[in-house]
């Protein structure tokens, strides 16, 4: 088992995304460096559009995530409702 990770710029746009990820992935941990937040999770991590919308209070398109995305590690699986990173290929 190894970690997948995803990192974002730290700003008001990414905050609800980070909050949604931590809510939906209990084993995920977030580490903050200046301007950057890196979220590690064992084996897989899921990002749900609905959870972000709950945090944000507005409609959200998962592709908007790319505006503040910095890096990631893991195999990507995506559709309109969720974005998953995993090492289960």
Partner 1 sequence: MDTTVKQPAMNRNQRMQALTRDLAWQVRQPEAVFPARSLEGIRIHDWSALRQPLQPTLEKYWKLQGDKDKRLYAITDAFAQNNGQLGLSDARYANAIKLLLQAFSPIEYSAHRGYARVARQLGLTDAAFQSADHLRHNQLEIHATSLFNKYFNGMHSYTEWFDHHWMLSVAKSYADDLLSAGPFEFLVAMAVGFNPIISNTLYVSYMSAAADNGDMSTSSAGLTAQSDKVRHQAAGLTLVEFLLKQDPANLPIVQAWIDKWFWRSVRLSSLVAVMQDYMLPFHSHSWQEVWAMYVEQPLQKVFETWKPLGLTLPSNWPQACEQQAHVSHQTWLRLYRYSAGLPLHVWAPNAAALDWLSKKYPGTFDAMFRPHMMGLAHQIAQGQRPQEKAAPVLCGTCQLPVPGMEGSTALSQAKTLQGRCFCSLPCQHIFNLEPEKHSAQAAYSLQRHAWSMPVTQSSDSGLFDGSQDQHNFEEWNGGMQHP
Q: Which residues bind partner 1 (CB under 8 A)?
A: 2-3, 7, 9, 11, 13, 33-36, 63-64, 66-73, 75-76, 78-80, 87, 89
* Alpha-carbon Rg for the chain in angstroms: 12
* Shortest distance in whole angstroms from residue 37 CB to partner 1: 10
Quote the tokens at residue 84.
């998953």
Helix (H) / strand (E) containing 36: strand 36-42
* Shortest distance in whole angstroms from residue 4 CB to partner 1: 9
Nearer to partner 1, 9 or 29 (CB): 9
For residue 48, list its beta bridge partners. Answer: 82
* Shortest distance in whole angstroms from residue 81 CB to partner 1: 9
């Amino acid at each position: 088992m190894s970690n997948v990770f995803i990192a974002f710029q730290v700003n008001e746009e990414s905050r609800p995304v980070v909050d949604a990820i931590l809510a939906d992935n209990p084993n995920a941990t977030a580490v903050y460096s200046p301007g950057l937040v890196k979220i590690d999770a064992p084996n897989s991590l899921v990002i749900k559009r609905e959870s972000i919308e709950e945090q944000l209070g507005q409609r959200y398109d998962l592709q908007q995530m790319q505006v503040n995305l910095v890096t990631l590690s893991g195999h990507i699986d995506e559709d309109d409702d969720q974005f998953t990173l995993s090492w289960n290929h």
